[in-house]
Chain A
Amino acid sequence: MRSAHRKEIIGKIVVYAVLIIIALAMITPFLWMFSAAIKSDREVFKMNPFVFIPKVPKWSNYVDIWTKIPFLKFVENTVFLTIVVTILQLLTSSFAAYAFAKLKFRYKNGLFLAYIATIAMPWQVYMVPQFILMRKMGLNDKLLAIICLQAFSAFGVFLMKQFYESVPDDLCEAARIDGMSEYKIYMKIMLPLSKPALATLIIFTFVNTWNDYLGPLIYLKTQEKKTIQLGLKMFISQYSSDYGLIMAGSMLSLIPVLIVFLCLQKYFVEGIANTGLKG
Chain B
Amino acid sequence: MEKIKETQGSGQINILQDALKTTIEKVRDEKDEKTKRKLIRQIERYNNRIDMLRSGRRISRQTRKNLVAYSFIAPNFIGFCVFTLIPIVFAFALAFMNWDGSNPVSFEGFNNFKRLASDTFFKAALKNTIIYCVGTVPLTMIASLALAIVLNQKVIGRGIFRTIAFFPYVASLVAITSVWKMLFHPSKGPVNNILFTFFHIPQDALPQWFSGSLCVISMILFSVWKYMGYYMVIYLAGLQGISKELYEAASLDGAGTWNQFRYITWPQLSATTFFVVVMLTINCFKVYDVAVMLAGGGSGELTVSATVLVYYIYQKAFIDWDLGYSSAVAMVLFLMVLIVTIIQFRGQARKEA
**Do A and B form a real pair?**
yes
Chain A residues within CB distance 8 Å of chain B: 15-16, 18-19, 22-23, 25-30, 32-33, 36, 44-45, 47-48, 50, 91-93, 95-96, 98-100, 103-106, 108, 111, 114-115, 118, 120-130, 132-134, 148-149, 151-154, 156-157, 182, 186, 207, 210-211, 213-214, 218, 228-229, 232-233, 236-237, 240, 243, 246-247, 249-251, 253-254, 257-258, 261-262, 265, 268-269, 272-273, 277-279
Which of A18, A29, A108, A261 interacts with B183 by CB under 8 Å? A29
Q: Which of B19-27, B29-37, B210-218, B267-275 contacts A (4 or more CB under 8 A)?
A: B267-275
Q: Across the interface, do B337 and A95 meet the contact criterion of CB distance under 8 Å?
A: no
Q: Across the interface, do B282 and A126 meet the contact criterion of CB distance under 8 Å?
A: no
> Closest CB-CB distance, A64 to chain B, in whole Å?
17
Q: Across the interface, do A250 and B178 meet the contact criterion of CB distance under 8 Å?
A: yes
A243→B183 CA distance, assembly (Å): 12
- B225 cross-chain contacts in A, Cβ below 8 A: 25-26
- Point out which of B286, B326, B327, B330 has the most chain A C-beta atoms below 10 A from its C-beta: B330
Q: Across the interface, do B83 and A278 meet the contact criterion of CB distance under 8 Å?
A: no
Excluding A95-B75, A125-B333, 18 further A-B contacts by CB distance (< 8 Å) are A15-B150, A19-B161, A23-B165, A26-B167, A121-B88, A125-B88, A130-B83, A132-B323, A148-B79, A148-B82, A149-B83, A182-B72, A207-B169, A250-B175, A269-B162, A278-B235, A279-B271, A279-B276
- Point out which of A22, A98, A214, A232 has the most chain B C-beta atoms below 10 A from its C-beta: A22
- B313 cross-chain contacts in A, Cβ below 8 A: 124, 127-128
Q: Across the interface, do A152 and B272 meet the contact criterion of CB distance under 8 Å?
A: no
Q: Check A105/B66 contact, CB under 8 A, given A95-B75, A96-B72, A118-B88.
A: yes
A-B contact pairs, 29 of them (CB 8 A): A27-B167, A36-B182, A50-B190, A96-B77, A103-B69, A104-B69, A118-B80, A120-B278, A122-B286, A123-B286, A124-B313, A126-B91, A128-B317, A129-B88, A130-B84, A130-B87, A148-B79, A157-B80, A213-B173, A213-B174, A232-B174, A237-B298, A237-B299, A250-B175, A254-B172, A261-B166, A269-B236, A269-B240, A279-B273
Q: Across the interface, do B180 and A29 meet the contact criterion of CB distance under 8 Å?
A: yes
Q: Which residues between 73 and 114 of chain B lie within 8 Å of chain A, taking CB atoms?
A: 73, 75-77, 79-80, 82-88, 90-91, 94, 101
A127→B326 CA distance, assembly (Å): 10
A103→B69 CA distance, assembly (Å): 6
